[in-house]
């Protein structure tokens, strides 16, 4: 049975079985295209928006509890301030996510993972730099459309990649690697 | 010559008829004379055969007359003696046992002693004759057998077919240990070495033989447990790539798919569908852009650097 002609058997460690659907296996490890990455970013924006809204609601609740009689709905900060806070939250969110699991929630939903040039999880400084770059220059994502290697401007500059990876945990891969 | 003790005593026998015809009711002297005459007559027949005749020589009538006269005289003498004995018996008794004499001095005692001595002498003589006969008979028989062709005699005189027909051959064979006879007397190795077994096997229709065998009762009598006990299952397992086999089976039956179908939620199915559709959308966009940019080569989308081994697909 050593010459089993199993599907992608050569790509699998001998003691593990793939949990990825058969139709998605050929794409695993390839750089993701613009559609998937945009959808992942939209989800992340929604997450950040939800965080900001939750923070605003929480802040209102605290103010209400501290002075219910004198409570009035505070005016929303100027749009620039809101955007800056949102960008800051999004950058923090991106950096922590890529630093720890290699994927944001949007990446998780869409089956993506951010890796460095070695194919491994980003280091803290690399994750922070990429998060800042993505927040400061989001339009760089669309360079994926024309780039031959499906790389955004951030990917080109920081030598990172966003790949299809439907596996659940990055740790299992690193354990396998060791 | 037959011994006198073996003479026929039946009323219809020839000796008995001769005895009657001669007016004698028996008696040793008469029988001895008859044997003597018979022996002389047979000796004449044998001499005739030895001289080339048929064994029936012509006996002159004078000889028979002489024999008859001698027989008559002998029987008459015997009668006279017997009658004299009966008449003289009382006188003889007195003479043999005279009165007034001690028994030791009686003539009867003396005669009795002579009788005992004669009986002892006779018995010793018989034993001597038996010993001489025992020593002489084998030599005589050997000499006779040397002079005759016994085989030819048997062939001429014996009805071999009748003898063989009366033999129970099967009973004789049953008493034989044929296996031991074959093992000791037959060179089986040389016989087997000369047999062309291949030719024999080629002539055998093994398929027909097997087709005629009812294997069910045979298999029903087989106890598989002892056979299984002798099988080294561990050695068999050691030769099998169980991990590879399990992986092959799991992948062939797509166990993850089965698990997902049995345990997955609608949300996971929706996510999976969204992911696949987005991938397809990515491919479509790539092809469209490449077509617009007049790119002919396929877009290499594999990341650079060492391939990361993953648990579920090619490395990153």
CA distance B316 to chain A (A): 4
Cβ–Cβ under 8 Å, residues A132 and A91: yes
| Per-residue model confidence as pLDDT tens digits over A55-68 | 888 988 998 898 88
Q: What are phi and psi of A164, to 5 degrees?
A: -75, 125
Rounded-to-10 torsion of CA B283, B287, B288, B289: 100
- For residues B107-127, average pLDDT: 90
- For residues B143-153, average pLDDT: 88
Burial class, A136, CB count within 10 angstroms (exposed 0-12 / middle 13-18 / buried 19+): exposed
What letter would DSSP give residue B292? H
Structure tokens at B211: 């087709």
Rounded-to-10 torsion of CA B140, B146, B151, B154: -30
pLDDT at residue B265 in the model: 61
pLDDT at residue A5 in the model: 36
User: In the predicted model, is pLDDT for residue A11 greater than 50?
Assistant: no
pLDDT at residue B293 in the model: 85
Cβ–Cβ under 8 Å, residues A171 and A117: no
Burial class, B142, CB count within 10 angstroms (exposed 0-12 / middle 13-18 / buried 19+): exposed
Burial class, A89, CB count within 10 angstroms (exposed 0-12 / middle 13-18 / buried 19+): middle
- Residues 6 or more apart whose Cβ sits within 8 Å of residue B316: A29, A113, A115, A119, A161, A163, A165, B303, B307, B308, B310
Interchain pair B306, A118: CB under 8 A: yes
- For residues A139-147, average pLDDT: 92
- Residues 6 or more apart whose Cβ sits within 8 Å of residue A8: A18, A25, B313, B314
Predicted TM-score of the model (pTM): 0.46
Q: What angle do CA B64, B68, B71 make, to 5 degrees?
A: 135
Measured distance CA(B196)–CA(B202) in Å, rounded: 10
pLDDT at residue B210 in the model: 86
Cβ contacts below 8 Å, chain A against chain B, sum to 177
By C-alpha distance, the chain B residue nearest A167 is: B312
Cβ–Cβ under 8 Å, residues B27 and B78: yes
pLDDT at residue B94 in the model: 85
In the beta sheet, which residues pair with residue A161? A115
User: In the predicted model, is pLDDT for residue B27 greater than 90?
Assistant: no
- For residues B262-281, average pLDDT: 81
| Per-residue model confidence as pLDDT tens digits over A14-28 | 456 677 888 888 888
pLDDT at residue B291 in the model: 86
| Per-residue model confidence as pLDDT tens digits over B159-208 | 888 888 888 888 888 888 888 888 888 888 888 888 888 888 888 888 88
CB contacts, 8 Å: B311 with chain A: 12-13, 16, 18-19, 167, 172-173, 176
| Per-residue model confidence as pLDDT tens digits over B248-258 | 887 777 777 77
In the beta sheet, which residues pair with residue A113? A163
- Could you tell me if B240 lies within 8 Å of chain A, comparing CB atoms? yes
- Could you tell me if B289 lies within 8 Å of chain A, comparing CB atoms? yes
Q: What angle do CA A97, A103, A109 make, to 5 degrees?
A: 125
The mean of the pLDDT values for chain A is: 83
pLDDT at residue B44 in the model: 83
Measured distance CA(B271)–CA(A40) in Å, rounded: 12
pLDDT at residue A17 in the model: 65
pLDDT at residue B13 in the model: 55
Structure tokens at B103: 């028994």
- Could you tell me if B236 lies within 8 Å of chain A, comparing CB atoms? no
**B310 pLDDT band (50/70/90 cuts)?**
very low
CA distance A6 to chain B (A): 6
By C-alpha distance, the chain B residue nearest A144 is: B286
Coil, strand or helix: which one is A106? Answer: helix
Going through chain B in order, the beta strands assigned E by DSSP cover: none
């Amino acid at each position: 049975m050593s010459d089993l002609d199993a599907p992608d058997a050569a790509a699998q460690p001998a003691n593990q079985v793939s949990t990825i659907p058969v139709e998605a296996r050929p794409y695993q490890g390839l750089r993701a295209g613009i559609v998937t990455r945009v959808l992942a970013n939209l989800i992340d924006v929604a997450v950040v928006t939800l965080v900001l809204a939750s923070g605003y609601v929480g802040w209102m609740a605290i103010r209400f509890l501290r002075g219910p009689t004198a409570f009035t709905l505070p005016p929303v900060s100027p749009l620039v301030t809101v955007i800056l806070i949102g960008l800051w939250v999004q950058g923090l969110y991106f950096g922590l996510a890529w630093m720890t699991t290699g994927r944001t929630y949007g990446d998780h939903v869409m089956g993506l993972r951010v890796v460095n040039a070695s194919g491994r999880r980003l280091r803290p400084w690399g994750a922070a730099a990429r998060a800042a770059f993505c927040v400061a220059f989001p339009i760089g994502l669309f360079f994926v459309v024309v780039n031959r290697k499906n790389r955004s401007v951030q990917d080109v500059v920081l030598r990172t990649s966003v790949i299809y990876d439907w596996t659940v945990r990055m740790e299992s891969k690193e354990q396998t690697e060791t | 010559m037959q011994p006198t003790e073996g003479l026929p005593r039946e009323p219809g026998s020839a000796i008995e008829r001769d005895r009657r015809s001669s007016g004698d009711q028996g008696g040793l002297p008469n029988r001895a004379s008859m044997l003597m005459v018979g022996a002389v007559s047979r000796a004449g027949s044998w001499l005739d055969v030895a001289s080339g005749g048929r064994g029936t020589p012509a006996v002159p009538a004078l000889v028979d007359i002489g024999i008859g006269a001698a027989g008559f005289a002998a029987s008459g003498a015997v009668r006279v003696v017997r009658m004299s004995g009966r008449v003289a018996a009382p006188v003889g008794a007195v003479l043999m046992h005279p009165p007034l004499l001690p028994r030791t001095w009686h003539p009867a005692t003396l005669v009795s002693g002579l009788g005992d001595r004669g009986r002892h002498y006779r018995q010793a003589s018989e034993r001597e004759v038996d010993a001489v006969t025992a020593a002489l008979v084998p030599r005589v028989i050997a000499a006779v057998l040397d002079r005759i062709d016994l085989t030819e005699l048997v062939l001429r005189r014996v009805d071999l077919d009748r003898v063989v027909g009366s033999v129970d051959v099967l009973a004789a064979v049953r008493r034989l240990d044929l296996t031991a006879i074959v093992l000791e007397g037959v060179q089986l190795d040389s016989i087997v070495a000369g047999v062309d077994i291949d030719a024999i096997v080629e002539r055998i229709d093994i398929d027909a033989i097997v087709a005629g065998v009812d294997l069910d009762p045979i298999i029903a009598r087989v106890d598989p447990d002892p056979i299984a006990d002798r099988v080294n299952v561990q050695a068999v397992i050691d030769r099998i790539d169980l991990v590879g086999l399990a992986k092959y089976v799991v992948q062939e039956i797509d166990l993850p798919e089965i698990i997902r179908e049995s345990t997955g939620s609608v949300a996971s199915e929706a996510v999976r569908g969204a992911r696949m559709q987005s991938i397809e959308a990515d491919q479509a966009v790539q092809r469209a852009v490449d077509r617009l940019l007049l790119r002919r080569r396929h877009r290499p989308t594999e990341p650079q650097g060492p391939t990361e081994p993953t648990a579920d697909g090619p490395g990153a």
